[in-house]
Amino acid sequence: MTRTAKQSDEIRFSPNYRSLHWRGERFSFTETQARAFGVLLKYWLDGTPDVPGDYVLATIDSDAANLCDLFRQHKAWNRIIVPGATRGTRRLKGDPPHNLLPFDEMSDEHSISD
């Protein structure tokens, strides 16, 4: 697949979100962290990025007391998973790219870029 965006502007992720390339940085998540990231990604792409942490945890059926506990000492916390505009919410950092690149069947990854 030919990419039109710079590599550093790209966001690529595996279908289960366990592997993520975020604008030049690489992240790996546990299965539960990946499901939480997927919820945040969905609302970020839908244009409603601020999501209550307790909603994320309930959606993924996690026993964690809060999102901070789920991502304790993970480098994505406060780097790409940042506080939302209102208390108790989290969101993905920045604005989503304007285009979604098609599923790349060769690498089993999804890509979005500016």
- How many independent structural domains does the chain possess? 1
Query: What's the domain range around 14?
Result: 7-113
CATH number at residue 17: 1.10.10
Residue 2 lies in a domain: no
The larger pLDDT score, comparing residue 37 to residue 112, is at 37
The single-letter DSSP state of residue 14 is -
Residue 45 lies in a domain: yes
Output the DSSP codes for 53-111.
Answer: HHHHHHHTT---SSHHHHTTT-TTBTTTEEE-SSTTEEEESSPPPSEEEEEETTTTEEE
pLDDT at position 28: 97
pLDDT digits (tens, 9 = 90+) for 78-90: 999 999 999 999 9
pLDDT at 30 over 80: yes
Q: What is the mean pLDDT of the chain?
A: 84
Residue 1 lies in a domain: no
Write down the pTM of the prediction: 0.82
